[in-house]
């Protein structure tokens, strides 16, 4: 039987419903190669000093500053310390040791003179600059000291933070592992890379959602395409629920007689809402099955990605224990007439030089979102916004 969507839930109410759902989240060990963008699940305390020894910051000569009180002083050249030298040299009064950038500073020397500020004469090196004690030396532990907390659980791993872990000698770390399952439904769907039969289209939603989930630091688990066969969809849905922390389905959520998703969710769990007073993204289902949040997203690509980014992402972030970055907003002049209906609409626009151009090709088109920099909000009671009006653009996060 058809399900007609009449009593639509407001976006704010849907956010509250989502917020009331519990989300669990596991952890896993990952190598540094796979840690970028993930959320740390452990505090990192340094077991070593970085650098482990005081090191030269310039190629030149290690000396004792008091041995060269004025420019023109010549010191006896004793030895050479390349980077990686294992034994520690000591330095006598009036002596200099040739040193390269990154090499350990010999004992008793307290400064490095750059090669450019010196000349060589027989066994002597003559210094032609003023020497300040400590110059061109990075003391042991300056970067990170032993026992220091360098990273906290809940921080996102970035290239620089991977550098910190590597510099501490850590080659794997524990990160949060929030798995989001994705099931695409529709007889018309074909996996990209295969020939397209009549009446068929390629599955875009599995891929847009996977990418969006990965950007949120969670792990997408794509279960592929389910034809409109409710029993196969049921077993895949239950498999996804047993393996993931959140499950998303796309398609088969609206008023068509073969749109069976809400029925499956009703039979296997509890539906919290069905139908959102929002455009793009009316036929949305929020449900839970065995305490796992299950969200039925619209089949239309722009609607499914918009609902994921603007609403469902908060549930993913809650599971990971992270907060959303502040959104950028700006005033712009609307360049096109825009018609809307009685739903709250996030209307996609491209912004060029403080002008906002509508890029809406309906929620059935994927290029609507791909071209958009952000959106303007059109309240339910507004059905027309005239070109030339000042509007506020909210930018997408990425
Ligand atoms: N009589 C009504 N018809 C429709 C309503 C309504 O309220 N009353 N709502 C419209 C809205 S709004 C949307 S959005 C769509 C979404 O419906 P479903 O969520 O049930 O999705 P489908 O019918 O399965 O598909 C819609 C559209 O999207 C294409 N699609 C589906 N999956 C994918 C995918 N993985 N990748 C790319 N494209 C996909 C599908 O082929 C359809 O063209 O319903 C309106 N109708
Ligand atoms: O979700 Mo629908 O039109 O709002 O595509």
**What's 115's domain CATH number?**
2.170.190.11
Helix axes 230-243, 261-268, angle to 10 degrees: 50
Does the pLDDT value for residue 89 go beyond 90?
Answer: no
Name the domain count of the chain. 4
Same domain, 206 and 120: no
The tens digit of pLDDT for each residue in 160-207 reads: 999 999 999 999 999 999 999 999 999 999 999 999 999 999 999 999
Residue 6 domain-assigned? no
Residue 152 domain-assigned? yes
- pLDDT mean over 95-115: 93
- Which residues, judged by CB distance below 6 Å to any ligand atom, belong to the binding site of ligand 1? 5, 184, 186, 188-189, 201, 203-206, 250-256, 259, 282-283, 298-301, 303, 363-364
Provide the percentage of residues in the chain whose pLDDT is more than 70.
Answer: 96
- pLDDT mean over 370-381: 94
Q: What is the pLDDT of residue 229?
A: 83
Same domain, 154 and 192: no
- pLDDT mean over 264-292: 95
Domain boundary, last residue among 128, 155, 175:
175
Q: Which of 91-95, 115-119, 365-369 has the lowest mean pLDDT?
A: 365-369
Ligand nearest to the CA of 8: 1
- Phi, psi dihedrals of residue 221, rounded to the nearest 5°: -125, 105
Does the pLDDT value for residue 90 go beyond 90?
Answer: no
Same domain, 244 and 336: no
Distance of CA 300 from the midpoint of ligand 2 (Å): 7
Same domain, 301 and 186: yes
Q: What is the pLDDT of residue 66?
A: 96
Residue 313 domain-assigned? yes
Q: What is the pLDDT of residue 326?
A: 92
Within 10 Å of residue 55's Cβ, how many Cβ atoms? Answer: 20
CATH number, domain at 383? 2.40.340.10
245 class by beta-carbon count within 10 Å (0-12 exposed, 13-18 middle, 19+ buried): buried
Within 10 Å of residue 331's Cβ, how many Cβ atoms? Answer: 10
Provide the percentage of residues in the chain whose pLDDT is more than 90.
Answer: 84
- Structure token pair of residue 354: 């403080």
Residue 5 domain-assigned? no
Q: What is the ipTM of this complex?
A: 0.96
Ligand nearest to the CA of 262: 1
Asked if residue 325 lies in contact with residue 397, where contact means CB atoms within 8 angstroms, the answer is yes
Closest CA to 73 of 136, 117, 21, 27: 117
Same domain, 44 and 68: no
Does the pLDDT value for residue 81 go beyond 80?
Answer: no
Residue 2 domain-assigned? no
Judge if the beta carbon of residue 275 lies within 6 A of ligand 2: no
What are 179's strand-pairing partners? 219
Q: What is the mean pLDDT of the chain?
A: 93
Domain boundary, last residue among 78, 112, 138:
138
Domain boundary, last residue among 262, 287, 320:
320
Ligand nearest to the CA of 186: 1
- Phi, psi dihedrals of residue 205, rounded to the nearest 5°: -65, -40
Q: What is the pLDDT of residue 230?
A: 85
Q: What is the pLDDT of residue 15?
A: 96
Judge if the beta carbon of residue 282 lies within 6 A of ligand 2: yes
**198 contact partners, CB below 8 Å, separation of at least 6:** none
Closest-CA residue, ligand 2 atom 1, reads: 281
- Give the integer Cα–Cα distance in Å for 363 and 354: 25
Residue 4 domain-assigned? no
**Span between the terminal Cα atoms of the chain, in Å:** 41
Does the pLDDT value for residue 227 go beyond 90?
Answer: no
Distance of CA 335 from the midpoint of ligand 1 (Å): 29
Distance of CA 375 from the midpoint of ligand 2 (Å): 15
- pLDDT mean over 393-397: 93
CA 188 to each of CA 54, 111, 207, 209: distance values in angstroms, whole numbers, following the listed order: 66, 73, 16, 19
Q: What is the pLDDT of residue 336?
A: 97
Same domain, 157 and 45: yes
Same domain, 213 and 157: no
CATH number, domain at 279? 3.40.980.10
CATH number, domain at 150? 3.90.105.10
More confident residue, 263 or 23: 23
The tens digit of pLDDT for each residue in 312-350 reads: 999 999 999 999 999 999 999 999 999 999 999 999 999
Same domain, 111 and 152: no
Does the pLDDT value for residue 369 go beyond 90?
Answer: no
- pLDDT mean over 216-243: 94
Containing structural domain, residue 44: 31-50+146-175
The helix/strand/coil state of 141 is coil
Asked if residue 289 lies in contact with residue 265, where contact means CB atoms within 8 angstroms, the answer is yes
Same domain, 192 and 309: yes
Does the pLDDT value for residue 82 go beyond 90?
Answer: no
Mutate to test the pocket of ligand 2, among 11, 254, 275, 303 (most ligand atoms within 8 A of CB): 303
The helix/strand/coil state of 212 is helix
Our CA angle for 250, 252, 254, nearest 5°, is 110
Residue 3 domain-assigned? no
The helix/strand/coil state of 60 is strand
Q: Which of the four pLDDT bands, split at 50, 70 and 90, describes residue 252?
A: confident
- Give the integer Cα–Cα distance in Å for 285 and 273: 6
Same domain, 313 and 205: yes
Q: What is the pLDDT of residue 4?
A: 62
Closest CA to 333 of 316, 352, 311, 361: 352
Judge if the beta carbon of residue 363 lies within 6 A of ligand 2: yes
Residue 209 domain-assigned? yes
Mutate to test the pocket of ligand 1, among 208, 300, 344, 360 (most ligand atoms within 8 A of CB): 300
Q: What is the pLDDT of residue 265?
A: 93
For 154-193, give one letter per residue: b (16+ CB within 10 A) or e. Answer: eeebeeebbebbebbebeebbbbbbbbbbbbbbebbeeee
Same domain, 116 and 194: no
Q: What is the pLDDT of residue 3?
A: 63
Alpha-helical regions (H) of the chain? 11-20, 159-167, 205-215, 230-243, 261-268, 301-307, 313-320, 367-371
Q: What is the pLDDT of residue 258?
A: 67
Same domain, 120 and 91: yes
Please give the number of the atom of ligand 1 that sits closest to the Cα of 5.
7
Q: Which of 83-87, 118-122, 168-172, 325-329 has the lowest mean pLDDT?
A: 83-87
């Amino acid at each position: 039987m058809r399900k007609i969507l009449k009593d639509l839930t407001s976006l704010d109410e849907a956010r509250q419903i989502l917020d009331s759902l519990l989300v669990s989240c596991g952890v896993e060990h990952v190598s540094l190669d796979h840690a970028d963008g993930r959320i740390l699940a452990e505090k990192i305390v340094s077991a070593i000093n970085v650098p482990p020894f005081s090191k030269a910051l310039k190629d030149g000569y290690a000396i004792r500053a008091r041995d060269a009180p004025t420019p023109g002083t010549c010191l006896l050249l004793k030895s050479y310390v390349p980077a990686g030298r294992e034994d520690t040299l000591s330095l006598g009064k009036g002596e200099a040791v040739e040193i390269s950038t990154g090499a350990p500073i010999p004992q008793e020397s307290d400064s490095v003179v750059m090669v450019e500020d010196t000349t060589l004469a027989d066994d002597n090196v003559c210094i032609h600059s003023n020497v300040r004690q400590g110059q061109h030396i990075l003391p042991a532990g300056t970067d990170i000291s032993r026992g220091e907390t360098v990273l906290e659980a809940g921080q996102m791993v970035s290239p620089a933070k991977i550098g910190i872990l590597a510099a501490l000698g850590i080659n794997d770390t524990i990160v949060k592992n929030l798995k989001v399952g994705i099931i695409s439904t529709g007889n018309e769907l074909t996996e990209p890379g295969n020939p397209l039969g009549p009446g068929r289209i390629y599955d875009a939603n599995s891929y847009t959602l996977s990418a969006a989930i990965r950007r949120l630091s969670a792990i997408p688990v794509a279960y592929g395409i389910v034809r409109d066969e409710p029993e196969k969809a049921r077993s895949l849905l239950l498999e996804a629920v047993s393996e993931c922390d959140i499950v998303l389905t796309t398609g088969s959520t609206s008023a068509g007689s073969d749109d069976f998703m809400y029925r499956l969710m009703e039979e296997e769990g509890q539906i919290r809402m069905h139908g959102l007073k929002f455009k793009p993204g009316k036929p949305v289902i929020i449900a839970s099955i065995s305490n796992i949040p299950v969200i039925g997203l619209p089949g239309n690509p722009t609607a499914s990605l918009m609902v994921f980014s603007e609403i469902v992402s908060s549930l993913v972030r809650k599971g990971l224990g992270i907060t959303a970055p502040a959104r950028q907003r700006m005033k712009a002049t609307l360049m096109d007439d825009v018609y809307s209906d009685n739903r709250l609409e996030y209307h996609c626009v491209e912004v060029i030089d403080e002008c906002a151009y509508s890029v809406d090709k309906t929620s059935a088109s994927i290029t609507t979102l791909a071209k958009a920099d952000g959106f303007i909000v059109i309240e339910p009671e507004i059905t027309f916004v005239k070109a030339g009006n000042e509007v506020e653009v909210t930018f997408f996060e990425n």
